[in-house]
Structures are given as C-alpha cells and as structure tokens.
Structure 1
Amino acid sequence: MTSATTRDRAEEIVAAIGGPENVLSLTHCATRLRFELKDASVVDRAAIEKVPGVMGAVPQSGDRYQVVVGGAVQSVYTQIIHLPSMKGVGSGQSDADVKAAARSKARGKVAWLDAFFEYLSDSFRPLLGVLLGASLIIAFTAVLDALGVVDFRAADKSAGWVFVDAMWRAVFYFLPIMVAYNAAKKLNIDPWVGATVMGALMTPNFISLSDPTAFADTVCTTNATLGTQSCVADIFGIPLQLNDYGGQVFVPLIMVAVLALVYKGLKRIFPENIQMVFVPFFSMVVMIPVTAFLIGPLGIWLGSGLGSGLAWLNGNAPIAFAILIPLLYPFLVPLGLHWPLNALMLMNIGTLGYDFIQGPMGAWNFACFGATAGVLFLSWRDKDVQMRQTATGALAAGLLGGISEPSLYGIHLRFKRIYPRMLVGCLTGGLIIGIFGGVNTSVFAFTSVLTIPVFSPMPLYAIAVAAAFAVSMTLVIISDYRTPEQKAEAAAARLQAEADLALEAARTGADATAASADAVDSAPTAAVLAPLAGTIVPLAEVADPVFSSKALGDGVGVAPADDAAVLEIVAPVSGTVVTLPDSLHAYGIRTDDAVEVLVHVGIDTVKMAGAGFTSAVAMNHHVTAGQVLGTVDVAAVRAAGYDATALVTVINTASMSEVAPRPAGDVAPGDVVVDVVP
C-alpha cells in the first residue's frame, strides 16, 4: 500500500510539472525536489500543491522549479526517477554535476588552477562510495594483521584470504578505467570511449606482451634503483614500453585531456548522422596507440624518476627528505604518482632490511586525516548531514586503514582552503621526524593508528603523526574549510531545510488533530493577533509563492512601516512553541484547542542565518497572547535585500470551521488580524 501511494504521488508530481518530456534534470536537497525544466510556464502549481505530502511549489529563476516535500524527499525522488516514463530523463546531470557547474561559476583569481582542481575532483568524486567500501575492507584486514590473525603481506596466504584481497584490489586496480570514465564525462565527451582506451592497456592480451617466454621480441630489464622490471615489445617494428597500469591515475588523466581534443575535433569533421560510429572508432584507433606508446610510458617514467630522486635525497640530505616527503604526498596522491614509491619501499625492505619513506609519509597521512577530522567537527556543529557522513567514512578509512583517497577525493580537492592548512600539519610532522633522526620500519604497512607499533623509534613516530593530526585539525576548525561564500550557501541550505522540516512537522501535527476537530460541533471564535506593528496585506499579495498559494494555511501578511527599525515580535495566540528554527525568523505555536499558528518574519530571511533576529523563548515554552517572542531588525532585513513582511497563517486551516482574515489596515502588536472558529 505504501509503495503504491508513493508511486501515485510521484506520477502526480511529474504530470503536474509538465510531464517527463518537460524535465531536463531532477536533483534534490534535504527537503526539496529541484527540477530543471524545458518550459516552466506549463507547470500546474495548483495541481502540485494538491498532491498529498507536498507542502508547496516554488518557481525559481529561469526554468527551474522546486517542490517542497520535507523529510520524505529521498523516497519521492527515488520513486520519480524509477518511473518508466522518466527512463533516461536527466541522466546527463546529477546533483554532483549541478554543484560542479555552480562551483565553476565562482572561481578564484587563478582560473586555470581552479579548473585543474575541478578536473581532478570531478574525476574522482563519483568513486567515493566504492573507494570508501574498499578502504573499509582494507581497514578490516589491517585490524586482523595488527592482531596477528593473518599476515596479509605473506605470499602463501590461503585462497580465502586471497579472495578477500580481490574484494578491495578490484577498486584500486581498475581505478584507471573508472577515472578515465569520469574524466571524459567531465570534459563532455563519451565516457565509454575514455574507459575503453584505458581498458585496452589493462587487458590480458596487453599484459601478456610482457612475457619474454611467449614473445621472443620482448626484452625485459631491471631498474637498479627501484628494483622494478621494465619490458619492451616490438610492435610492427616500433618499440613499445610495457607497464602494469593497475592503480595508475596520472595516465588516464593525461590521456582523457588529449582524447577530448581528438574527440571534439572528429565531431567537427563528421556529419551528425554518422558520428555515433566514426567518432568513437577513430578516437580509439588514434588514442589507444598514443596512450600505449607515449602517454602511458610518460606517466611511468615521471613516477620512476621521482622515486629515484627521493632515494638520492634521503642518502644525501635526510632531514630535508623527512620534510619534503610529507609536503610532496598531498600532490602526488591525487595524480597517482605515489605508486612508484611503493616499489621503492619494498626494495628498501628487501635490500636494506628497513624502509625510510613510510615514516615521513605517515606525517602526511595523519595531517590528511586531521584535516578530515576538522571537517567532521564542523559538519557536526553545522548539522551538515551529507558532509558528516562523508567525513566519518573517510576518517574511519584513514585512521583504521591508512587510506587517504576518500579524504582527498571526497573532501580536500573540493575545498581548496584545506590544502594550505593540511600542509602546515605535514610540515610539523616531517620536521619532528627529521630533527630527531628519522623513522624506519622493517615491514610494508598502511600508515594507520593500528600500525604505529611497526615504526621505530615508535615514540618519535607517534609524537610526529599526532602533532601532524592535531595541527591540521585545529587549523581547519579555527579557519573553516569553506570560503565565506561556500559557508553562507551551506548555512542557507541547512536553515532552509530546517524550516521546511519544521513546517512539515507543524502540518503533520495539524493532520493529527483534524479528527478531534471534526468532532467539535461548535466553539468560541479564537483571535489571532498581529505579531508586530505594520499594515495588513492580503496573503494572496505577498511575494512568497508558498504562502500566497495558502499551501501553509490561510492568514495575512503584516508589512512593517518604511521607517521601522527594531520591532518586537509578540505571540499571536496563547499556546506552546512547537517550531523555532536556528535562524529565529519563524515561530510555530499550538494552542490548547489545537489551533496551529505560524509566524514567519520576512520572506527568504532563513538565508540571513539569524542575523538581525533575537528570541526570548525556546522550544516547548508556553507563551501567552501578546507576550514578546523576540525582536527583528527590520532595517537590517531590508538592507540584506529581503522583504520584511511578517506572515501569519493558521497551518491547519483545513481542520477549522472558519479562518477569516481581517481586511487591510494599520495594526499594532496585539491587534486582531485573523478570526478562527475551531
């Protein structure tokens, strides 16, 4: 019954919005469906607002439309996008795409740098879920390894534990294909072409070329510094350097940037009616060889050269090395250039019996996790549910599994203010390690909390990573990870969601009292008083479409005088305060005889985040009619660009025998503006 009702509601909303053919894309926030339409003029707002569970329909600029649903928005959204009639609608623009487009319009002074970080971020953000999933599997195995249950570095593990390895390695090994898909989508070309080009270099056929016993014209050599093997095959007389591209992300990022030029050039050459066949065909024919012969080896050479340089630096300037490693890693990891260093770590353990890279690297990792912890703290404080979930998962994957990618791709690359603060933590940890003689380890380990005991000297390593963590976290908490604009946008979205949910709760309470109200044959008229001084405005004439449509009940608006400054807000009725958002711009009061009255001071003033408002009461307080609830700085509201009209409505109008607004005229606080017969 519930699913059928939900499906009916979804179909009614889509029909009223103009049908699936009118929908370009659909996303949602915490409480609202957000439609991007072909033509917003065909929307039947009255029909939308009659749909059960819909609290209002709000036109936006252009052809955008919002439908206020409340806490059930996720289920309604899911039901809508799974309607047969909506198949394929809006598939080109997800909620993340919408936010990325918004970010691109608010770039800083160095536009190319912002574009570069957006390219990296949007190439990885869609992978956050599987990265977190794989990272938690790694965290689980790290716990077992730390407890001595199984040695995950051993070569003779049982088939069962090898299978467990496959569960997380699948994500990291095939990361190049996933990144290529997302990067191509970011650059507005066919993402499957990008994935196919990268996938060609990871097929068993390509990998088999590295076997000199199978191909006589394949020659393999060993890198003396890194201990890695490099093979070259003869392909139609042209030497091809063969590499294992599993886990590489620098290569697909470069490849897709070149592919975008080729793909878009081909689209200009071929007519539209044959582009579907020939553009992908020629893109593959050109880019697979270019990637195999040029781009792929270039990425590997760059990483290998970096590893050799670091080995030289550690031997000649160990203090500088200990500082440089944690400062370099924040830039190496997003590009995938940190992978060759793993080979150097393993070679050190095999030849020297210890490794000198993982200790300084731990300073970077814990600085990264500290920045994530700072974000988590702020998201708890600001009630940012989505960021709180992202930061919680990323921090768990980091502290338990030593995996930084979820933090980087899910948070740090999205908010560029994090990097300078994180680098201070990296510098702090690296400086401590360098000054006091360095840190070594005899095993290859993920740098997590669980693996601290494998480093020597352990006290030095523990102090260094703790300092890196604490400094990054403190700096992020003190200075925030968002720009003032991003912070204001997030606060406005959160407060709007709180207001929507509060109104939903008020309406739900009103529905619950409807049955008892119907049982009352007669009752004395109740008076709803003016909350502040001003002039009565008919509700149909106010500038807020949700209120003017009476979706939140019948009532009036009270417009303060032009010269009004700070005004007191008084209780319109006696009862219990059931709604009071953090923005202090609205009060919901339920009377003893179940009349639900809402006072909403100003239009869109939720975006002021409480600036200009004070409150003298709290949730669940009992107030009497005419009692001061708080104040509003009318001048500040108008200076911020908002309408200061106070809206007074009876939320459960449908449950009343009569709700009669008084005619236009001047009123003082406490004058009757609405008569109600319960």
Structure 2
Amino acid sequence: MASNSAADIVDAVGGPGNIASLTHCATRLRFQLRDGEKADKDRAEAIPGVLGAVPQAGDRFQVVIGGGVQTVYNDIMALPVMAGGGGAAEAGSGESDADIKARERAKGPRGTNAWLDTLFEFLSDSFRPILGALLGASLFITFMALAATLGWIPAWNAPGVVLPPSWAFVNLMWQCVFIFLPLMVAYNASQKIGADPWVGFAIMAVTMLPGFTALGKTDDAVQTTFLGSNITTVQVFGMPLTIFDYSSQVFPPLLMAAVLGLVYKGLKKVIPENIQLIFVPFISMLVMIPLTAFLIGPIGVYAGAALANALSAINTFSPFIFAIVIPLAYPFMVPLGLHWPINAIMLLNIQTLGYDFIQGPMGAWNFACFGATAGVLVLAWREKDKQMRQTATGALAAGLLGGISEPSLYGIHLRYKRIYPRMLVGCLTGGLIIGIGSLVLGLKNGITTQAFVFTSLLTIPAFDPIGLYLIAVAGAFVVAMMLVIVSGYKNPEPAAAGAGAPAAGAAGRVSDEAQAVSGVAGGGELLPGGAGTAAAGTATAVATAAHGEAPDVGALIQVASPLDGTAVALDQVPDPVFAGGVMGPGVAIEPTGDTVYAPGAGVVVAAQPTGHAFGLQLDNGAEVLIHVGIDTVNLKGEGFDVKVKNGDRVETGTPLVTFDRAVIEKAGYPLITPVIVLNGDTFDTVDPATLGPVSHGQALLDVQKKS
C-alpha cells in the first residue's frame, strides 16, 4: 500500500489527533480513537487495499487489510504526522497506554455488553501477537505429518519413537512454540491487563522450570486421585503443591494475568511512586508465584480440562452431530471473538489426549468461507469490478494459504447479507460429509489431528483420515462457491412500487431495514439502516396523473416538506449516521412549527409509538423516513401526540404527529429533523428543491426516476 493510502486511512479515522493508540493483529489495524464518531467507515472502505472497516464500542475502530497489515501499519507509523507515536504525541498529551485506557473507561459504559467486549479483546490480544509463530509452527507440523504419511520417517509423534538427529531437529522447530506457549501467552496477557509483561512471564516461568517438575520426583511426592485424575503432590511449607506439566497450557497463564493485573494496579496505588520500580514487581512476584503454583495454575488446568471434557463428551455421544454443529457455529463465533477459548481447548486436547477432534469440523467452516469468497471473485471478474476483485483475491489468498478467515469475513461477507446463508449451506455440506463419513468408517472421534494447525490447503496432510477431510473441505468450498456464483452476492435493487397502494414487498423491505439498523445511533432509536422501521417515503408527483399513478420512467417527482421551518443540507445534522448519508440522500429541517405532516399520498409503513420517527411508502414509489429530532427516542413518547398508526392511508398534508418543543428543548435534544429518501439508489438523482425557509406541502426534494 502506498504512503498516500496510509495517510488516507489516518484521515478516515479523524486525523492523527484523533488516534489515541494503534496496534494491529494478523489482518486488521486496531485504532483506539479519542472520538469514535469522527471515523468515517465509508471513506475508509473506499481506500484501495482496505477490505473493510468495523466501528466498535468504546471509540474503537478496526480497518481490515489482510495479510499485508504489518506493512500498512509500518507505513502509517512512518508518516510525519504520526511522529512520536501518533495522535497522542502530536497533541502533546504524553499519555501512556494506561492513561489512555483509564481516560476511555472514565467516559462510562462502552455499550450494553462492554464487559463482553473487554473479555474478547483480552483473549484476542493475548494470542494475536503470536499468531505468526503459531502459523509457522503449524506448517512445520504439517511437513512432519506429510513426511510420516509418505514413509520418510516413522510416526514422529508416537510414544517411544526416536527420530534421526536431522528429523529430530526439524521437530524442535515447532516444539519451541507450543512447549513455551504459556510463557508467550503470559507475556501478552499481562501486557494487555496493564501489568509488567516480564513479571507475568517470570511468574509463569516458575511452573515450567525443570526444578519445578523435579519436585514431583522426590521421595516426598505423593500420588493421589483428584476428580478421577492421577496427580502428583508434594508438601511445601505444609501445603500440598500440585505438580503439573504446564507445557502448551493456555488457561493458567490467562487466569494468572487477570489476577496479576489487579495486584499490580493495587500495589501502584499504595506504594509511593519513587520506589514502585523496585517494590511493585517484587511484591507482585512474592504474591503471585505461590498463588499461581498452589491455586491459579491447578484451577486453570482443571477449568480447561472441564471445557475440553464437555466438548469431548458431545463428540463421543455423537460425532455426527458434533461434525455439523461446529461448522455451523463458527461463522457466528469468529466475528464475536468466541473462537479464542475454543482454540485454547484444541491445544489442551493435543496435550492431554494426543489429538484434537475440533479442527476437522472447523475446516469445513473455513473452506466454506473461502469458497464463498472464491464465488465473489468469479463474479467480480465477470463484472470487471476492480475493487472487489482486489479485495477477494487478497482474502482468498490469506484463507487458502494461511487459513485466516477474517479478511473474507470483514472485507466481504459481513458487508453483503446474501453471502452468509449460502456460506452456511457450504458449512452444512462439509459437516454432513464428515459426520456421515465418520459413521461409515467407524471413527469414534471423527476427523482428528495430532497438532494445532491453521486449516488451509497447506495443512491438509495433518488430518486423519486425510481422504475424508479432503472430500469434506472440497465439498464445503465448491457448494458455497457455486451458490454465490449462481445467486450473486449483491442485494437486488428493490422494484419500484406499482400504481396505487405500495407493493407489499417494498413495505416489507422498509420494515426489515428498519429492524436491522435501528439503534445505530441515539441510544437505540430508529436511525439509518434502522430507518426501515421508521422509513418514510414522501413525494408529490409532478408528472403523474391525478389518480396517483406511478410517474413514467425518467419523470421528475418531488417530496414535499413535512414541516414548517428552515431546510438545511443533511451534513448539518449533528449525527454521523444521518450526516454521512448512510440512510440515504435527503435534507434536514430546523422546525419552526410543532406538527409533522405527510409529504405525499401513500401508506404509513412504520409509526413509532414514541412519535419520534415515521416511515411512509408513497404512491409514486418513494420511501421516506422522517426523524423528529436527534436522540428523541429517549423521551419515550413524552411530548409527542401521534396521529396515525401503521397501515393508515394518508394524503399530502395529513398530520402525523404534534410535538411539544419545550419538552424536547428542556431535555437538551436537537429538534433538527432529517427527511431521508431510503430508496434513493433506485433514482438517478435526489436533490434539494430548496434550502432556506420552507412551509409544509412546499417542494423539498427533487427526485429523478431512472431512465
């Protein structure tokens, strides 16, 4: 990506002064912004090389790049305006990451599920920096599996097998990652939680020292049974210390870091600043090393084992059901970050069972995802859509070669709702093949793998039986791809309403859109995208017959003003969803009166009981949203006297609602009222007929039908 594109990304998120911090994962730039409303999603997605943009709670904003994210990150950080670390430095604030996070939390809740966002972010950032190492190690494992399949070496991971020195050395190339994985996770998780990452590393390292495991081999060691498992304990300071092999464990370091964060922050509050450098790490280690060894470590081991056993019980009960559920669940788990705990269970399965049974069905989901992307790529080539062709090519390469689904998900699938149902059919196909194949072949655990790998083309040899896995992922890929190619991925343009009453399908689409997007802004009120629920179509036909017939193709229709007041450009609305035109084109009115009237003859599709928004489908085909004020949904109907209900027939000038200006102004909500043509994409132009003083019934918008 060129440096000018890097600068465009910075501008799209509100400029360097709006960037509190910037990190990146395997595919995405992760911005912590000072004001999330300044970020422009549409502008970011229009930048060459950007696969998608994802606004998040807490003024966070993600820009999906794909496999080249590191280069883009470096380009951004190399920009002169980012000198000194970005916006914080430029603004001269000198804030640390901890200061930034504290300030952001001080703003209040980040949404209805802020704690859930924080949990998933903690899990994601604990693994994110080591994804490259995990991917590299998985390819070494695949190479070893392929060598064993071809007979070059004996079963490399079977108990008691001794490999020749050369192959033993190759084997060490992946073991270095997985054996010391707890230390890597401890470092990342401690850093994420705000503690010294090297202190977290050191605490976890104690449990992995040869001397720690040697304690279980002393004469004082006792073999006991706990929860059905044979464990080794030894008395230390009069207390039983459980000796585990913590290699590859991930739950203990995650729990340790969570507790360490609380201890660390507590100590910094009570220890004077001038001696914190010495005593905060010392006391943290003094408290946390015994706590981790005696309590947190064993809890983490057993918690992980309990989750793993629960999934294993489901798989043992019915590998057929398990093989179907996993591929169908993953498309919804990955966007939410719920797959991170499952990844940890995969690692635990390999350590305790010697194999994992989750990754096989997961491969069906991944290849269905990549197949859908391939279908989009084929259509983009046909349609000569250069931007989508570039997006799909990058996403498909990241998937097939790296097993990474995020570029496909965020860059394409979540942007076009037609893709997901077709992709799910591909997931179901792959799952059925695995489930039926397991029954036919008598596989008690379904498809398994003896290593943690990213499900890509390169890692297919790591699965057993390889033939069944290959057929399953190929089926998932081909079915998803063909369904997308046959049906298309873009949402079909709505047909214009017929003469007289509006078509039921159009009305239903308006209502669906409203439900899908309601609450985008204004604390859950009906807004762009959710406008469907409040969508209101209004237009007075200039070139129609007196009987309300639809105007001829190419004719001019007009939307009348529903209010007395002053018409202003839509970008004057103090709400980014309306001002950015996300809902559609239109204008806004600063009202001088207190009544909203129907802007044309038609049917009320959505009349909100709170009175703050109305959606109308007009006889001439225009669908209009009238949104009375901003954030007025919070009044819960106070100050609004609604005159109509859903399904009512209205004529131009029919009163829709009367509002009490004093109530709205006292509550501090802006009275400016957007008037939006929701189906503006079906017209050639939607332009203001007038700006300035306007009376209800006067022409407000000129709408040109497509020729």
- Give the TM-score, by structure 2 length: 0.47
- Give the TM-score, by structure 1 length: 0.48
